[in-house]
Copies of this chain bind each other. A is one copy, B any other.
Amino acid sequence: MAAKHTGARSERSQRTSEWLQPAGEPRSEPPLSRERIVAAAVELLDAHGVDGLTMRRLADALGSGVMSLYWHVDNKENVFDLALDSVLEYHGQQTAQQAQDWRAEAVHMLEDWRASMLRHPWSASLLPRRALGPNILSRLELLSKTLSRAGVADADLNVAIWSLWNYVMGATVTRASFDLSDEDRAAAQQRLTSLSERYPTIERSRLLLDNDWDGAFRQGLGFLLDGLSPR
């Protein structure tokens, strides 16, 4: 509701008179904008995780006052929403061979999706709490079109879409949570060995130690697509 804005105002007056520059501050800050705020937020989230993003830190990183942010953004939740969606944009090149190999196209989009989120592990833990942003909807739309073109029956379409979505979401969320556990790598290792007697089967198959996440993702996706393919 609030925060109307145009993004006009190209550059600032650049500090003409010297008599108020408090100290050596060579920064010529561009004006605030929703875009700059979101970019800085993503940077902070990448660097310090979900808990590392505070409005004060964000303002510091932008060289502005804290409350100035609230002109461009509703509140902190809104920052999370925008940061998440900004990270999920898809630049899928529409090659001419898209129609002939629907399966490759779907796999490509879904792998890109997963990769985008793993580049920003905080995004996975944010997703469950936020509504669907435009970039997510775009991907669902594209997936829907692709499957439809592939010959999936209309009656099965929604189930197919959700199945693929669920698979990607789950894989990403799981993988990201493993990434985040660097703080207690030692504890995890110890827990694994201490529990090997209690969970013999998954210990034997080395379920938690298997590091070929990408391969497992691709292979499982293949199985799922097998199940979904029109027979």
Contacts and interface: CB of A to CB of B under 8 A. Distances in A.
A170 B159 contact: no
A158 B124 CA distance: 22
A168 to B, nearest CB: 7
Contacts of A184: 131
A52 to B, nearest CB: 13
Given A129-B125, A188-B131, A167 B167 contact: yes
A138 interface: yes
A118 to B, nearest CB: 12
A82 to B, nearest CB: 15
Interface in A121-159: 124-125, 127-132, 134, 137-138, 140-141, 144-145, 148, 154, 156-159
Interface stretch (A9-17, A59-67, A86-94, A217-225): A217-225
Contacts of A222: 227
Interface stretch (A25-33, A100-108, A173-181): A173-181
- How many monomers of this chain does the complex have? 2
Given A128-B173, A159-B220, A205 B154 contact: yes
Contacts of A208: 132
Interface in A181-207: 181, 184, 188, 195, 198-202, 205-207
Main secondary structure of the interface of A (DSSP, over half): helix
Highest count of chain B CB atoms <10 Å: which of A50, A156, A174: A174
A177 B181 CA distance: 24
A164 B188 CA distance: 23
Given A159-B220, A167-B163, A176 B226 contact: no
- Sorted nearest first, the 9 A-B pairs with minimum C-beta distance are A166-B170, A227-B227, A170-B170, A169-B170, A163-B220, A223-B227, A226-B227, A125-B128, A166-B171
Interface of A: 50, 124-125, 127-132, 134, 137-138, 140-141, 144-145, 148, 154, 156-163, 165-171, 173-174, 176-177, 180-181, 184, 188, 195, 198-202, 205-208, 210, 216, 219-220, 222-228
